[in-house]
Amino acid sequence: MKVAILGASPKADRYSHLAQKLLMEHEHEVIPVSPRGDEILGVPGSTKVPAGVDTVTLYLSPKRLLPILDQLISAAPRRVIFNPGTESPEAVERLTSADIVCEEACTLVLLNTGAF
């Protein structure tokens, strides 16, 4: 499965970094997305969510997500996971209106329990 990590970080103590490691261990294709498009854990990064991803896992506050929400919607992922602290009723409403499934969950828990 192709997964974009929106709010990816090269800092090992960040949840987005831990999620990338675990996604890779579960053999998902990951795309780290950050403002600078940094390479993270040997994976080339991007500054935008590319089209063709199945899932976007969010590690951005609503304040940082809302300005780029149109770009996320245009990428048309199948689902978006709102990790703890990223919840946004406005974003959920706009995404579901675009037929994108929204899930409030922790990516790390989903992966560790086989529910991803």
Can you give the pLDDT of all 116 residues of the chain as single tens digits? 999 999 999 999 999 999 999 999 999 999 999 999 999 999 999 999 999 999 999 999 999 999 999 999 999 999 999 999 999 999 999 999 999 999 999 999 999 999 99
Look at residue 7 in the predicted model and tell me its pLDDT: 97
What percent of the residues of the chain are helix, what percent strand, and what percent coil, each to the nearest 5?
35, 20, 45
Look at residue 74 in the predicted model and tell me its pLDDT: 97
Number of domains in the chain: 1
Query: Looking at this protein, which amino acid is placed at residue 31?
Result: I
Look at residue 78 in the predicted model and tell me its pLDDT: 98
Give φ, ψ of 70 to 5 degrees: -60, -40
Its domain, for residue 40, covers 2-112
CATH code for position 65? 3.40.50.720
Look at residue 12 in the predicted model and tell me its pLDDT: 97
Look at residue 104 in the predicted model and tell me its pLDDT: 98
pTM flag (> 0.75): yes
Q: What is the dihedral of CA 85, 68, 48, 116, to 10 degrees?
A: 40
